[in-house]
């Protein structure tokens, strides 16, 4: 069944920041292709997605620092992408895609990235546990069934995080991956609106 997200999806040959307007998404990499020349020389093809993610130079530096410089070793790895509304293009805040979580790292990584000439910002990437990694961990006893969640209490917590700004609510939403279906797209849009008011 079609949804409103299908209606507003931009026409493009790549994954856009507007595709993540409802919240962060986690992807598994299928293949990475590089071109010898051009503005966007790196294309990261994702499982289940027609259009590739074409990372900025800053996000390519993150991938090299976290994984390796050999792009042919990225297949099978996973990361979480989110929309950062503060990213500028031509001096205007137009939004862009950044990486918040990555598989195959054991601890958070903080990297200094160039924003403008002579200006840098610190970017932190959190470890991402994939289903494969979780299955590989030894389990002495069977874990108890997860308790039913209080959806309204969870939503209240999310609104509270949204009032702290986009960065805080983005991290909170990413950590709620197991509950995205219960919380729903409309709620994620509500959080975005709240965060925008407190930017």
pLDDT in tens, 42-52: 999 999 999 99
For 47-149, strand residue ranges (E) read: 78-84, 88-89, 92-93, 96-102, 109-116, 119-127
Between the alpha carbon of residue 5 and those of residues 1, 14, 23, 94, 115, the distances in Å are: 11, 16, 11, 19, 31
In this structure, how many other beta carbons lie within 10 angstroms of the beta carbon of residue 20?
21
pLDDT attached to residue 126: 94
Q: What is the Rg, in whole angstroms, of the alpha carbon atoms belonging to the chain?
A: 18
Rounded Cα–Cα distance for residues 169 and 175 (Å): 10
Q: Evaluate whether 135 touches 168 at the Cβ level (below 8 Å).
A: no
Q: Which segment of 14-18, 32-36, 127-131 scores lowest on mean pLDDT?
A: 127-131
Q: Which residue has the tokens 């994939």?
A: 130
The pTM (predicted TM-score) of the whole model is 0.60
**Each residue's pLDDT tens digit, 96-152:** 999 999 999 999 999 998 877 778 889 999 999 876 555 555 554 554 554 567 788
pLDDT attached to residue 59: 94
Rounded Cα–Cα distance for residues 60 and 39 (Å): 13
Rounded Cα–Cα distance for residues 135 and 52 (Å): 28
Rounded to an integer, the average pLDDT of 145-171 is 80
Q: Evaluate whether 114 touches 105 at the Cβ level (below 8 Å).
A: no
| High-pLDDT (> 90) share of the chain, % | 38
Contacts of 115 (CB under 8 A, 6+ apart): 121
pLDDT attached to residue 34: 95
Q: Which helix (H) or strand (E) holds 168?
A: helix 166-175
């Amino acid at each position: 069944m079609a949804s409103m997200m299908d209606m507003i999806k931009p026409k493009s040959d790549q994954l856009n920041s507007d595709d993540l307007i409802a919240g962060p998404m986690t992807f598994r990499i299928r293949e990475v292709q590089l071109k010898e020349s051009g503005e966007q020389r790196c294309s990261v093809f994702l499982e289940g997605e027609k259009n590739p993610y074409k990372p900025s130079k800053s996000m390519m530096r993150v991938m090299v620092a976290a994984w390796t410089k050999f792009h042919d070793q990225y297949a099978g790895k996973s990361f979480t992408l989110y929309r950062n509304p503060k990213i500028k293009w031509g001096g205007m805040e137009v939004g862009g895609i950044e990486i918040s979580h990555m598989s195959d790292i054991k601890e958070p990584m903080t990297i200094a990235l160039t924003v403008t000439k002579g200006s840098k910002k610190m970017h932190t990437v959190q470890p991402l546990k994939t289903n494969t990694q979780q299955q590989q961990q030894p389990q002495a006893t069977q874990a108890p069934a997860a308790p039913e969640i209080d959806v309204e209490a969870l939503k209240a917590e999310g609104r509270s995080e949204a009032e702290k700004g986009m960065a805080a609510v983005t991290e909170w939403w990413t950590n709620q991956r197991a509950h995205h279906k219960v919380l729903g797209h409309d709620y994620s849009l509500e959080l975005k609106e709240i965060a925008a008011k407190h930017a």
